[in-house]
Amino acid sequence: MGQKSKVVASFAEAVADIPDGSVIAFGGFAAPGTPYNLIMALLAQGARDLTCIANTTGGAHQPRMPDLGMLVENGQVRKVVCSFTAPGRPTDVLPFTKYYEAGEVEAELVPQGTLAERLRAAGCGIPAFYTPTGVGTEIAEGRETRVINGREYLLEYAMPVDYAFLRAHRADAAGNLQFRLSQRNFNPLMAAAARHVVVEVEEEILPIGSLDPDHIHTPGIFVQRLVRIPPEPEGLWPVRRKERVR
Amino acid sequence: MGQKSKVVASFAEAVADIPDGSVIAFGGFAAPGTPYNLIMALLAQGARDLTCIANTTGGAHQPRMPDLGMLVENGQVRKVVCSFTAPGRPTDVLPFTKYYEAGEVEAELVPQGTLAERLRAAGCGIPAFYTPTGVGTEIAEGRETRVINGREYLLEYAMPVDYAFLRAHRADAAGNLQFRLSQRNFNPLMAAAARHVVVEVEEEILPIGSLDPDHIHTPGIFVQRLVRIPPEPEGLWPVRRKERVR
Amino acid sequence: MSGTDKIGWSRQQMADRLAREFQDGWIVNLGVGIPTLCSNTDIGGREITYHAENGVIGYGPVLPEGQEDLHLVNAGGQNVSLNPGAAVVHHADSFGIIRSGRIDVTVMGAYEVACNGDFANWKVAGAKGGGIGGAMDLAACARRVYIILEHNTRSGAPRLVERCALPVTARGVVTLVATNLGLFEPLGEGFRLRELAPGVTLEAARAATGAALLAS
Amino acid sequence: MSGTDKIGWSRQQMADRLAREFQDGWIVNLGVGIPTLCSNTDIGGREITYHAENGVIGYGPVLPEGQEDLHLVNAGGQNVSLNPGAAVVHHADSFGIIRSGRIDVTVMGAYEVACNGDFANWKVAGAKGGGIGGAMDLAACARRVYIILEHNTRSGAPRLVERCALPVTARGVVTLVATNLGLFEPLGEGFRLRELAPGVTLEAARAATGAALLAS
Instruction: Flag whether pLDDT at C3 surpasses 60.
Output: no
Q: How far apart are CA C134 and CA C99, in angstroms?
A: 11
Q: How far apart are CA B116 and CA B128, in angstroms?
A: 13
Q: How far apart are CA C73 and CA C68, in angstroms?
A: 9
* Contact assessment for residue B35 and residue B65, using Cβ atoms and an 8 Å cutoff: no
Chain A residues touching D79 at Cβ < 8 A:
240-241
Chain B residues touching D48 at Cβ < 8 A:
1
> From the candidates C29, C51, C53, C54, which should be mutated to test the interface with B, based on the most B CB atoms within 10 A?
C54
Measure Cα distances from D122 to D54, D125, D130 in Å. Answer: 19, 10, 6
Q: How far apart are CA B111 and CA C91, in angstroms?
A: 12
How far is the alpha carbon of B54 from chain D, nearest alpha carbon, in Å? 21
Instruction: Flag whether pLDDT at B235 surpasses 90.
Output: yes
Q: What is the DSSP letter of B235?
A: S
Mean pLDDT to the nearest integer, B105-121: 98
Instruction: Flag whether pLDDT at B246 surpasses 70.
Output: no
Q: pLDDT tens digits for A69-113?
A: 999 999 999 999 999 999 877 778 889 999 999 999 999 999 999
3-state secondary structure string across chain C? CCHHHCCCCCHHHHHHHHHCCCCCCCEEEECCCHHHHHHHCCCCCCCCEEECCCCEEEEEEECCCCCCCCCCECCCCCEEEEEEEEEECCHHHHHHHHHCCCCCEEEEECCEEECCCCEECCCCCCCCCCECCCHHHHHHHCCCEEEECCCECCCCCECEECCCCCCCCECCCEEEEEECCEEEEECCCCEEEEEECCCCCHHHHHHCCECCEEEC
Does residue A132 have a cis bond before it (omega within 30 degrees)? no
CB contact under 8 A, B208 and D85: yes
Q: In which band, very low, low, confident or very high, does the pLDDT at A242 lie, cut at 50, 70 and 90?
A: low
Q: Residue A3 has what pLDDT?
A: 62
Chain A residues touching C50 at Cβ < 8 A:
1
Q: How far apart are CA C75 and CA C56, in angstroms?
A: 9
CB contact under 8 A, D135 and A111: yes
Touching partners of B (3+ C-beta pairs < 8 Å) = A, C, D
Q: Residue B242 has what pLDDT?
A: 63
What residues have CB less than 8 Å from D66, skipping those under 6 apart? none
Please, which residues 30-59 of chain C have a Cβ atom closer than 8 Å to chain A?
47-51, 57-58
Touching partners of D (3+ C-beta pairs < 8 Å) = A, B
Give bridge partners of residue A201 from the DSSP assignment: A168, A228
* Contact assessment for residue B86 and residue C131, using Cβ atoms and an 8 Å cutoff: yes
Q: pLDDT tens digits for A226-235?
A: 999 999 999 9
Instruction: Judge whether B147 is closer than 8 Å to chain A, CB to CB.
Output: no
Q: How far apart are CA D39 and CA D148, in angstroms?
A: 14
**Sign, Cα dihedral of B196, B198, B199, B204:** positive
How far is the alpha carbon of B150 from chain A, nearest alpha carbon, in Å? 11
Least CB–CB distance from A100: residue in D124, D128, D169: D128
Chain C residues touching A192 at Cβ < 8 A:
93, 96, 100
CB contact under 8 A, B2 and D49: yes
How far is the alpha carbon of B73 from chain C, nearest alpha carbon, in Å? 18
Question: Which of D154, D215, D153, D208 is CA-nearest to residue D181?
Answer: D208
Radius of gyration (C-alpha) of chain D in whole angstroms? 17
Q: To the nearest whole percent, how much of chain B has pLDDT over 90? A: 89
Element at A188 (helix H, strand E): helix A187-193
Burial of A140 (0-12, 13-18, 19+ CB in 10 A): middle
Interface contacts (A, C; CB < 8 Å): 73
Chain B residues touching C124 at Cβ < 8 A:
86, 90
* Contact assessment for residue C117 and residue C139, using Cβ atoms and an 8 Å cutoff: no
Q: Residue A53 has what pLDDT?
A: 98
What type of residue sits at position D188? Answer: G
CB contact under 8 A, D77 and A31: yes
φ, ψ of residue B111 to 5 degrees: the values are -55, 145
C53 is catalytic: yes
Q: Give all domains of chain D, ordered by start, each with its CATH number.
A: 11-215 (3.40.1080.10)
Helical H runs in A79-155? 95-101, 112-123
Instruction: Judge whether D123 is closer than 8 Å to chain A, CB to CB.
Output: yes
Q: In which band, very low, low, confident or very high, does the pLDDT at D4 lie, cut at 50, 70 and 90?
A: very low
Point out the catalytic residue in the list D47, D53, D162, D185. Answer: D53
Mean pLDDT to the nearest integer, C29-56: 94
Measure Cα distances from B212 to A204, B178, B186, D87 in Å. Answer: 21, 10, 22, 8
Q: pLDDT tens digits for D84-132?
A: 999 999 999 999 999 999 999 999 999 999 999 999 999 998 888 999 9
Q: In which band, very low, low, confident or very high, does the pLDDT at D187 lie, cut at 50, 70 and 90?
A: very high
Q: pLDDT tens digits for A153-179?
A: 999 999 999 999 999 999 999 999 999
Instruction: Flag whether pLDDT at D49 surpasses 90.
Output: yes
Listed by start position, the domains of chain A span 11-124+158-230
Q: In this complex, does chain C touch chain B, defined as having at least 3 beta-carbon pairs under 8 Å apart?
A: yes
**Share of chain B residues as helix, strand and coil, in percent rounded to the nearest 5:** 25, 25, 50
Q: To the nearest whole percent, how much of chain A has pLDDT over 70? A: 97
Does residue A63 have a cis bond before it (omega within 30 degrees)? yes
Instruction: Flag whether pLDDT at B182 surpasses 90.
Output: yes
Instruction: Flag whether pLDDT at C157 surpasses 80.
Output: yes
CB contact under 8 A, C49 and A208: no
Measure Cα distances from B58 to B70, B80, B85, B116, C146 in Å. Answer: 9, 12, 10, 18, 28
Point out the catalytic residue in the list C21, C47, C53, C112. Answer: C53
Q: Which residue has the higher pLDDT, B62 or B47?
A: B47
CB contact under 8 A, A126 and B124: no
How far is the alpha carbon of B239 from chain D, nearest alpha carbon, in Å? 32
CB contact under 8 A, C95 and B113: yes
How far is the alpha carbon of B155 from chain A, nearest alpha carbon, in Å? 9
Alpha-carbon torsion angle A19, A21, A22, A26, nearest 10: 110
Does residue A233 have a cis bond before it (omega within 30 degrees)? yes
Instruction: Judge whether D6 is closer than 8 Å to chain A, CB to CB.
Output: no
Q: Is the pTM of this model over 0.90?
A: yes
b/e sequence C138-153, b meaning 16+ C-beta within 10 Å = bbbbbebbbbbbbbbb
Into which CATH architecture does domain A11-124+158-230 fall? 3-Layer(aba) Sandwich (3.40)
Q: To the nearest whole percent, how much of chain D has pLDDT over 90? A: 91
The angle at the Cα of B235, spanning B230 to B240, to the nearest 5 degrees, equals 120
Residue of B nearest to D100 (CA): B125
